[in-house]
Amino acid sequence: MAEAAIRAGCRFYFGYPITPQNEVAEYMSEHMPEAGGTFIQAESEIASIYMVLGASVTGARAMTSSSSPGISLKQEGISFLAGQELPAVILNVMRGGPGLGNIAGCQGDYFQATRGGGHGDYKTIVLAPGSVQELVDLTGVAFELADKYRNPVMILADGLIGQMREPVVLPEPVKHLPEKDWALRGAKGRPSRFSRSLILNVRRMEEHNWKLQRKFREIEANEIRFEQYLLEDAKLVVVAFGSAARVAKGAVKRLRKEGLKVGLFRPITLWPFPHKKIRELANECSEFLVYELNAGQMLEDVKLALSGSAEVFFYGRPGGVIPTPMDVAKIIGSRYYQRIKRKAK
Partner 1 sequence: MLIKCFFAGFGGQGVLSMGYFLAYAAMKEGKEVTYLPAYGAEVRGGTAHCTVGISDEEIASPVASEPEYVVAMNQPSAKKFQNAICSGGMMFINSTLVTEPPQRGDIEIVEVPASGIAEEMKNIQATNLVMLGALVKKTGLVSLKSLELSVEDAFSAKKKLIPVNLGALRRGWEYLD
Partner 2 sequence: MKKIYGRPKYLKPRKFHYCAGCGHSLVHKMLMELVDELDIADRVIGVAPAGCAVLAYDYMDIDIVESAHGRGPAVATGIKRSVPNLVVINYQGDGDLAAIGTAESIHAASRGEQIMTVFINNGIYGMTGGQMAPTTLEGMRATTAPKGRDPRREGYPLDLSSLLAQIPGVVYAERVSVSTPRGIRQTKKALEAGLRCQLDGEPGLALIEVLSMCPTNWKMSPLDSCKWMDEVMSKKFQVKVLVDRRTKAIKKAASGNVD
Residues interacting with partner 2, by CB under 8 A?
A: 11-12, 14, 38, 40, 42-44, 46-48, 50-60, 62, 76-77, 80, 84, 184-189, 191-198
Q: Which is nearer to partner 2, 207 or 300 (CB)?
A: 207
Residues that bind partner 1 (CB under 8 A): 160, 163-167, 246-247, 249-251, 253, 322, 324-327
> What's the chain's length in residues?
345
- Rounded distance between C-alpha atoms, residue 271 and residue 220, angstroms: 8
Q: Which is nearer to partner 2, 46 or 224 (CB)?
A: 46
| DSSP-assigned beta bridge partners for residue 88 | 152
56 binds, among partner 1, partner 2, none (CB under 5 to 8 A by kind): partner 2
- Rounded distance between C-alpha atoms, residue 262 and residue 341, angstroms: 12
Q: What are phi and psi of 9, to 5 degrees?
A: 90, 5
180 binds, among partner 2, partner 1, none (CB under 5 to 8 A by kind): none
- Rounded distance between C-alpha atoms, residue 235 and residue 227, angstroms: 17
> For residue 20, is the peptide bond before it cis, meaning its omega torsion is within 30 degrees of 0?
yes
As measured in angstroms, the least distance from the Cβ of 322 to partner 1 is 5
As measured in angstroms, the least distance from the Cβ of 1 to partner 2 is 21
As measured in angstroms, the least distance from the Cβ of 246 to partner 1 is 6
Biggest CA-to-CA distance, the chain: 78
Q: Which is nearer to partner 2, 18 or 251 (CB)?
A: 18
Are residues 92 and 128 in contact, defined by beta-carbon separation less than 8 angstroms? Answer: no
Q: Report the run of H or E that residue 282 belongs to, with start and end.
A: helix 275-284
Are residues 197 and 83 in contact, defined by beta-carbon separation less than 8 angstroms? Answer: yes
As measured in angstroms, the least distance from the Cβ of 251 to partner 2 is 45
Q: Which residues contact 224 (CB under 8 A, 6 or more apart)?
A: 269, 272, 273, 274, 276, 277
Q: Which is nearer to partner 1, 11 or 246 (CB)?
A: 246
Q: Which is nearer to partner 2, 10 or 247 (CB)?
A: 10
As measured in angstroms, the least distance from the Cβ of 74 to partner 1 is 25
CA 329 to each of CA 47, 291, 341: distance values in angstroms, whole numbers, following the listed order: 45, 11, 16
As measured in angstroms, the least distance from the Cβ of 194 to partner 2 is 4
Cα Rg of the chain, angstroms = 21
53 binds, among partner 2, partner 1, none (CB under 5 to 8 A by kind): partner 2
Q: Which is nearer to partner 1, 166 or 206 (CB)?
A: 166
250 binds, among partner 2, partner 1, none (CB under 5 to 8 A by kind): partner 1
12 binds, among partner 1, partner 2, none (CB under 5 to 8 A by kind): partner 2
As measured in angstroms, the least distance from the Cβ of 304 to partner 2 is 33
* Straight-line distance from the first to the last Cα atom of the chain, in angstroms, rounded to the nearest whole number: 50
As measured in angstroms, the least distance from the Cβ of 191 to partner 1 is 52
164 binds, among partner 2, partner 1, none (CB under 5 to 8 A by kind): partner 1
- Rounded distance between C-alpha atoms, residue 255 and residue 68, angstroms: 34
How many C-beta neighbours within 10 Å does residue 228 have?
A: 15
CB-facing half-sphere around the CA of 287: CA atoms within 13 A:
19
Q: Which is nearer to partner 1, 304 or 321 (CB)?
A: 321
